Amino acid sequence: MNIPVTNALHETANGSAKILDGALAAQAVIHELSEKIAKYVNSGKRKPALTVVLVGDNPASEVYVKNKILTCKEIGIESQLRRYDKNASKEEILAGLHELNRDATIDGILVQLPLPAHLPTGEILDSIAPDKDVDGLHPYNLGLLFAGVPGLQPCTPKGIIALLHFYHIPIKGKNVVVIGRSNLVGKPVAGLLLQQDATVTICHSRTENLSAICRQADILVVAAGKQEMVGKDWVKPGACVVDVGIHRLKDNSNEGQSKSKAKIVGDVLFDEVKPIAGYITPVPGGVGKMTVAMLMVNTIFAYEQHIAM
Ligand SMILES: NC(=O)c1ccc[n+]([C@@H]2O[C@H](COP(=O)([O-])OP(=O)(O)OC[C@H]3O[C@@H](n4cnc5c(N)ncnc54)[C@H](OP(=O)(O)O)[C@@H]3O)[C@@H](O)[C@H]2O)c1
């Protein structure tokens, strides 16, 4: 991968943060993967294959699934979308997953979240075979992550680390504050940062003096799911700010606008924080792009394990 050289962590470009462009970094990953897949296929191997399971008709999920399927097409992964009605039963979905687990031609299975409220998310995710769990959310794979053993790691945390590496942001020895402790983002990103020798503080909704803790951070990862919660008073000048949040704004002035074009903001007040941060991820165009790229990386990881069997 071609990694651009950036300024040191605490330098700012013209008094304004350098943008960590997730689209650019993701494209570099995608390009590398396309070449890798082409080599396998040219040597007579089957194509990698991913199945995405979508339950219901959540508009945001429709957009995410469409992006994932399009990216698969772009790089040569066979993809299949399995749709279930929003009232589908747990038994119906589990039966479908068991069938996919047994299918030797499928490398990766991804259940798009969130699931409708009547379905037990944990039980459904845990029923995916760990070797096909390309979202990296099975307890087995989360266990490998915290044991420091290579495996399928959750896509968003893995994407955050890849984005920091792409821009040569130093992690070793740095103070990193993570806001959020979910199994999807907060805990695994903290685990990965720890593996990179960062000193990590994990904050959550019960944390006291949150803004003061955040001001200590060389790298601030915000995954609270609270729209534009982090302002300039939370950020140390020159810090690297990684905004994981995604919030689709309702725009009453533009009622005819399609939902896929709705304005999207993050957990960070971008315009306020950008002038003082050293680096900042935009929303959209930051972490989200890396998440999809890491899904592709995980699918190829699973594929390589399967074709080696
Ligand atoms: N860019 C991407 O690809 C991507 C991928 C996944 C998620 N996301 C977005 O990232 C955000 C977080 O996702 P998630 O699944 O981790 O959310 P989540 O499961 O709702 O977890 C949110 C975490 O933030 C903490 N929190 C909430 N309000 C807080 C506050 N006021 N102060 C401090 N901590 C607070 C919660 O603390 P408690 O544990 O104490 O409740 C919880 O640990 C969402 O906006 C989501 O849409 C983006």
User: Tokens 């949040």 appear where?
Assistant: 245
Pocket of ligand 1 (CB under 6 A): 156, 179-182, 184-186, 203-207, 210, 223-226, 229, 244-246, 287-288, 291
Q: What strand order describes the sheet that includes 199-203?
A: 18-19, 279-280, 240-243, 219-222, 175-179, 199-203
Copy the structure tokens of residue 149: 């053993």
C-alpha 89 – ligand 1 centre gap (Å): 27
Measured at the CA of 180, the angle between CA 225 and CA 160, to 5 degrees, comes to: 85
Which pLDDT value is given to residue 13?
47
3-state secondary structure of 124: helix
Which pLDDT value is given to residue 96?
98
C-alpha 190 – ligand 1 centre gap (Å): 13
| Structural Rg of the chain based on CA atoms | 20
Looking from the CA of residue 207, the nearest atom of ligand 1 is 33
Q: Of all residues in the chain, what percent are helix, strand and coil, respectively (each to 5)?
A: 40, 15, 40
CA distance 172 to 174: 6
Which CATH number among 1.10.10.10, 1.20.1260.10, 3.40.50.10860, 3.40.50.170 corresponds to the domain 45-130?
A: 3.40.50.10860
Residues 6+ apart with CB under 8 A from 129: 101, 109
User: Taking 70 as the threshold, does the pLDDT of residue 258 lie above it?
Assistant: no
CA distance 266 to 243: 6
Which pLDDT value is given to residue 254?
52
pLDDT digit string, tens, across residues 154-201:
999 999 999 999 999 999 999 999 999 999 999 999 999 999 999 999
Q: Do domains 45-130 and 167-288 have the same CATH topology?
A: yes
User: Taking 70 as the threshold, does the pLDDT of residue 3 lie above it?
Assistant: no
C-alpha 308 – ligand 1 centre gap (Å): 37
CA distance 8 to 18: 11
pLDDT digit string, tens, across residues 120-138:
999 999 999 999 999 999 9
Which pLDDT value is given to residue 14?
59
The DSSP secondary-structure symbol of 231 reads -
Query: Known catalytic residues?
Result: 68, 112, 135
User: Tokens 């429709």 appear where?
Assistant: 62
Which CATH number among 3.40.50.720, 3.30.70.270, 3.60.15.10, 3.90.850.10 corresponds to the domain 167-288?
A: 3.40.50.720
Lowest mean pLDDT among 95-99, 154-158, 219-223, 256-260: 256-260
C-alpha 222 – ligand 1 centre gap (Å): 8
Looking from the CA of residue 225, the nearest atom of ligand 1 is 45
C-alpha 7 – ligand 1 centre gap (Å): 30
Residue type, 140: Y
User: Taking 80 as the threshold, does the pLDDT of residue 8 lie above it?
Assistant: no
Nearest CA to ligand 1 atom 22: 224
Nearest CA to ligand 1 atom 27: 224
CA distance 208 to 149: 33
pTM of the model: 0.93
User: Taking 60 as the threshold, does the pLDDT of residue 6 lie above it?
Assistant: no
The DSSP secondary-structure symbol of 250 reads P
User: Taking 90 as the threshold, does the pLDDT of residue 10 lie above it?
Assistant: no
Domain boundaries, the chain: 45-130, 167-288
Looking from the CA of residue 181, the nearest atom of ligand 1 is 43
Mean pLDDT of the chain: 93
pLDDT digit string, tens, across residues 208-248:
999 999 999 999 999 999 999 999 999 999 999 999 999 99
pLDDT digit string, tens, across residues 284-299:
999 999 999 999 999 9
Nearest CA to ligand 1 atom 40: 205
Q: Of the residues 111, 205, 265, which should be mutated to test ligand 1's pocket, given the most ligand atoms within 8 Å of the CB?
A: 205
C-alpha 56 – ligand 1 centre gap (Å): 22
Looking from the CA of residue 267, the nearest atom of ligand 1 is 45
CA distance 146 to 34: 30
User: Taking 60 as the threshold, does the pLDDT of residue 9 lie above it?
Assistant: no
CA distance 47 to 44: 9
Q: Of the residues 184, 241, 292, which should be mutated to test ligand 1's pocket, given the most ligand atoms within 8 Å of the CB?
A: 184
Which pLDDT value is given to residue 250?
79
User: Taking 90 as the threshold, does the pLDDT of residue 252 lie above it?
Assistant: no
Q: Of the residues 65, 201, 244, which should be mutated to test ligand 1's pocket, given the most ligand atoms within 8 Å of the CB?
A: 244
Tell me the CA distances in angstroms from 219 to 20, 23, 192, 201, one per residue in order: 13, 20, 14, 11
Which pLDDT value is given to residue 5?
32
Burial classification of residue 259, based on how many CB atoms lie within 10 Å of its CB (0-12 exposed, 13-18 middle, 19 or more buried): exposed
pLDDT band at residue 261 using 50, 70 and 90 as cut-offs: low
| Selection from 231, 221, 229 nearest residue 178 by Cα | 221
Average pLDDT of the residues in 11-22 = 79
Beta-bridged to residue 58, according to DSSP, are none
179 neighbors 222 (Cβ within 8 angstroms): yes
Average pLDDT of the residues in 5-33 = 77
Looking at the chain, the whole-number percentage of residues with pLDDT higher than 90 is 90
137 neighbors 129 (Cβ within 8 angstroms): no
The DSSP secondary-structure symbol of 130 reads G
Neighbour-count burial for 72-110, b at 16+ CB within 10 Å, e otherwise: beebbbbbeebebeeebeeeebeebbeebbeeeebbbbb
Looking from the CA of residue 291, the nearest atom of ligand 1 is 3
Average pLDDT of the residues in 55-73 = 96
Which pLDDT value is given to residue 204?
98
Which pLDDT value is given to residue 199?
98
